[in-house]
Amino acid sequence: MLVFAFDRDWTVDVNPHPQYEAVPLEWVRYLAHKTDHAVYAIGNQDLAEEAAIPGVVDIVGRHPADWDDWLGDKQPDGRYESFPTRRERLTLIEALHPAADRYIVVDDLDLSDVEGWQHYHAWEFVPAVRDGHLDLAPPLTDDQVSDDDLATDGGLPTVAGIKPADADHLASFLDGYDDTPGFEITYEQDGDDVTRLCWDVTVVEDTAESEAPIVRCSSLIPKGESFTVPIGAIDVVHVVKLSPEAVTAQAETQPDAAAALRRLADAAPNQLQLSPVLTLLDQKALPPQQQRDALHALAALTTVRPDACSPAIPILRSLLQEDDPVAPHDALTTLHAIAEASPEDIAPALDDIEPYLDSERTPVQREAAGCLAGIATEYPADCIDAVPKLVDFLEEDDERRRYAVRALAKVAAESPETTASTAGHLAEIALEESASNEVRQLATAALGRTLRAPAAFTTEIFEDVVELYDTDNYKLRNNAIALTYEVADLHTDIVEEYIDDIAALLTDDDSQTRINASGTLARVAEDFPASVSHLTPMFVELLSDDNEQVRENACWALGRLEASEAKATLEERLQEEPSEAVRNRIAWALSEIDPV
């Protein structure tokens, strides 16, 4: 004899998991009432009534001496004072059947740790039974299709199938697959069996077309054609895994094939392949709508597999070179996604992309700017000619500004003189509270690199940056002090005025902020030791900081200050410090304090 414990929700098909196969309720009833096995409901207790099997109260009732321990008194709301946990329920069941051959629990929760019980998820249990690994021989139920039917008439792999008993039965099944991209429905029409592939299948109870419930279907081919089928005429409905080959095989015309690929891309981009899309785009004199559909499908594919789409670049470049391209937005969206994954692949297309920064359409400008931002991560020098247009975008919406400042930050790292004219704009964006945090952070990063150019630096701009030391956004705060670190390399006299403001960041929770603050003060200490010497006790404390770079910066500061009061602590740390780099810097600091 076997003992079964079934959960209900996301386990039995009265409330199936939205993505996985569930145990038919008829199987539970069959095992409970047509075999010698023992079957219990251990989760949602509605299953006890639905399958006419004992539930938790019945299980505890068979341990009468322990009733008060497990349940206690029944409350006015119908609940009991206490209730055994899922694992405790299994222990109670096992005690009722000590001589059972096996104990099997089927539950969406992982109960594999319960000693003596073999755990299955529903989507593991059903195949195990169907394939004979569990020899239970349950009957084929109304809502199941046989093994022979698991391959659809169209040859498509299936996720699930149903032979509906009535409208409610079918509607309940379809509710579990409301995000499914494809169905195959087989029904009787004029004495013949008809099988059609559909994007959508919906049960309609009340219509002017029929007094009886019907199913309204949206067919794959022709595009969007809607038809209805009486519930009683339906033989089987399969949830199918679509493929480009399957959806285009039913297309009688090129426009239908393009439309089918577009709809597949919208519904299930992971199931789309590049080759059929490129085959369409490579057609000579492709009608505009079909070109739009194919480009839309390609853009959708890049959202899930951008690295697989590089072979499309030559075709996209050709399209962008046309005088009046059909769908530049989708073409640029594709190139943008590729740029984020593989900037080296689209860098050669820069000359074809850059003109679209001047497009009259904002989405096209945005995607072109995104392409440049991607290219600039690896090839900033290639983007220098686009700087004037990127500067124009600093006055636009956050999306265009985001890509513009990303690109400018990379260009500035390569050639700060090129972006010198943007310093004022970048400072304004950094302080603009209405801008997104990401844009403000990118702006401070770009500004820090730009200020390396002598022509870019002004005291007024730096004073603006100092205001960000107190911001609640730690990333923005860190970017501001990182910028100060760069300024201190050239203008320690200006940074000197803000020593105490910077010192307040030495105890910041963010380690990167402490690194930049301590590094900045170490630089100022070299030129203005008298202005920094009062911070010596803080630098001594930093010798024990969790961050290695902070400890090293503290050594730089103490050495430059020739802080004799730190000598004893430095000597102690020299023996305890785990980092070789920090030990070397401690030794240097000691040599500065007490030259031999």
Say whether both 276 and 236 belong to one domain: no
User: Cβ of 127: how many Cβ atoms within 10 Å?
Assistant: 13
What's the rounded Cα separation, in Å, for the pair 259 and 262? 5
- 337 within domain boundaries: yes
Say whether both 516 and 487 belong to one domain: yes
What's the rounded Cα separation, in Å, for the pair 6 and 122? 9
Say whether both 39 and 127 belong to one domain: yes
Q: How many residues are there in the chain?
A: 596
Number of domains the chain contains: 4
- Token duo for residue 208: 């002017």
Sheet with 2-6, edge to edge strand ranges: 38-41, 2-6, 102-106, 118-120
With pLDDT > 90 as the criterion, what percentage of the chain qualifies? Answer: 55
Say whether both 195 and 232 belong to one domain: yes
CATH of the domain at 231: 2.30.30
Say whether both 21 and 46 belong to one domain: yes
Structural contact between residues 440 and 429, judged by C-beta atoms closer than 8 angstroms: yes
What's the rounded Cα separation, in Å, for the pair 524 and 133? 75
Say whether both 316 and 359 belong to one domain: yes
- Token duo for residue 336: 């943008």
- Token duo for residue 137: 């021989």
> Which has the minimum average pLDDT: 263-267, 360-364, 575-579?
263-267
Last residue of a domain, one of 242, 275, 302: 242
Structural contact between residues 246 and 154, judged by C-beta atoms closer than 8 angstroms: yes
- 137 within domain boundaries: no
- What do you get for the CA distance between the two ends of the chain, in Å? 89
Tokens 């984020």 found at: 340
CATH of the domain at 550: 1.25.10.10
User: Which is it for strands 118-120 and 38-41: parallel, antiparallel or unpaired?
Assistant: unpaired
Structural contact between residues 411 and 393, judged by C-beta atoms closer than 8 angstroms: no
- 431 within domain boundaries: no
Last residue of a domain, one of 378, 395, 412: 378
pLDDT value of residue 144: 46
Q: Is 10 exposed, middle or buried (0-12, 13-18, 19+ CB in 10 A)?
A: buried
pLDDT value of residue 150: 38
Give 159's pLDDT tier (boundaries 50, 70, 90).
low
Last residue of a domain, one of 242, 274, 307: 242
* Alpha-helix residue ranges (DSSP H) falling in 108-213: 122-130, 167-175
- 320 within domain boundaries: yes
- 394 within domain boundaries: no
Say whether both 532 and 588 belong to one domain: yes
Tokens 């440049």 found at: 372
Q: With 50 as the cut, is the pLDDT of residue 71 above it?
A: yes
DSSP 8-state class, residue 140:
P
> Which has the minimum average pLDDT: 12-16, 130-134, 369-373, 387-391?
130-134
> Which three-class secondary structure string do you get for 542-561?
HCCCCCHHHHHHHHHHHHHH
What's the rounded Cα separation, in Å, for the pair 506 and 267? 52
Say whether both 282 and 343 belong to one domain: yes
Question: In degrees rounded to 5, what are phi and psi of residue 364?
Answer: -70, -45
pLDDT value of residue 209: 58
User: Which is it for strands 192-204 and 158-162: parallel, antiparallel or unpaired?
Assistant: unpaired
Say whether both 176 and 284 belong to one domain: no
- Token duo for residue 270: 């992971």
Say whether both 11 and 127 belong to one domain: yes
Which has more pLDDT, 1 or 182? 1
Mean pLDDT of the region 97-113? 90
Structural contact between residues 297 and 281, judged by C-beta atoms closer than 8 angstroms: no
**Half-sphere exposure of 417 toward its Cβ, with a 13 Å CA cutoff?**
0
User: Which is it for strands 38-41 and 2-6: parallel, antiparallel or unpaired?
Assistant: parallel
- 207 within domain boundaries: yes
Say whether both 199 and 111 belong to one domain: no
Sheet with 192-204, edge to edge strand ranges: 158-162, 234-240, 183-189, 192-204, 214-219, 226-230
| Domain enclosing residue 471, as ranges | 464-595
- 403 within domain boundaries: no
Structural contact between residues 241 and 156, judged by C-beta atoms closer than 8 angstroms: yes
Model confidence pLDDT, tens digit, residues 526-574 = 999 999 999 999 999 999 999 999 999 999 999 999 999 999 999 999 9
Structural contact between residues 429 and 439, judged by C-beta atoms closer than 8 angstroms: yes
Model confidence pLDDT, tens digit, residues 194-234 = 888 888 899 998 766 567 889 999 887 655 578 999 999 99
- Token duo for residue 109: 């929760």
Instruction: Report the helix count and the strand count for the chain, using DSSP H and E.
Output: 30, 10
- 457 within domain boundaries: no
pLDDT value of residue 172: 86
Say whether both 42 and 92 belong to one domain: yes
- The radius of gyration of the chain from alpha carbons, rounded to an integer in Å, stands at 35
